[in-house]
Amino acid sequence: MNPTQAWSAIGERQLVALAASLAADAREGGVIFLEGDLGAGKTTFARALLAAAGVGERIKSPTYSLIESYALDGWSAHHLDLYRIADAAELEWLGLADLLDPSTLLLVEWPERGVGALPAPDLRLHLRHAGDARDLEVTALSARGRAWLGRVAGSVMVQSDS
């Protein structure tokens, strides 16, 4: 069984803080799948994580471009949004294999649409609308993912105390 933790009624600020809590780890690379309906907060999470990891430029949603890439002092990150992909074979042109240096961070929205063409995730987040807030479920799928899940849990605790 992969360890999973769930939280309900996460506000936007809390989600942003939670994403930021992963920034230092994310600089070491890894793969995060971001699941949930339109407007669930996948891009909000990715943007907060990238900004906290040091991406200074404006972080655009890759909804139309499919991929936005960032490189900063020895580290790179790719943010994908596969919403518009009908078939994972459409991803071939991206040359994903070349992007997958183990020290690279890969954030993938709508990973369901890229099954077979994507690397195995370390962490999977699922966001669900819950009124104005969001319910969040986080699953760790590797040793690295388990460390990250611990970080997320710590962040949620700090946030609910304050």
Asked whether position 124 contacts ligand ADP by CB under 6 A, the answer is no
Nearer to ligand ADP, 44 or 75 (CB): 44
Exactly one of 2, 6, 8, 39 binds ligand ADP (CB under 6 A); that residue is 39
Residue 40 interacting entry, from Mg ion, ligand ADP, none, C-beta within 5 to 8 Å by type = ligand ADP
Asked whether position 42 contacts Mg ion by CB under 5 A, the answer is yes
Asked whether position 133 contacts ligand ADP by CB under 6 A, the answer is yes
Q: Nearest to residue 81, comparing CAs of 68, 93, 90?
A: 68
Exactly one of 20, 23, 31, 36 binds ligand ADP (CB under 6 A); that residue is 36
Asked whether position 41 contacts ligand ADP by CB under 6 A, the answer is yes
Nearer to ligand ADP, 43 or 104 (CB): 43
Exactly one of 21, 43, 104, 139 binds ligand ADP (CB under 6 A); that residue is 43
Note whether 76 and 69 are within 8 A (CB). Answer: yes
User: Which residues of this chain interact with ligand ADP, rule CB under 6 A?
Assistant: 10-12, 15, 36, 38-44, 109, 132-134
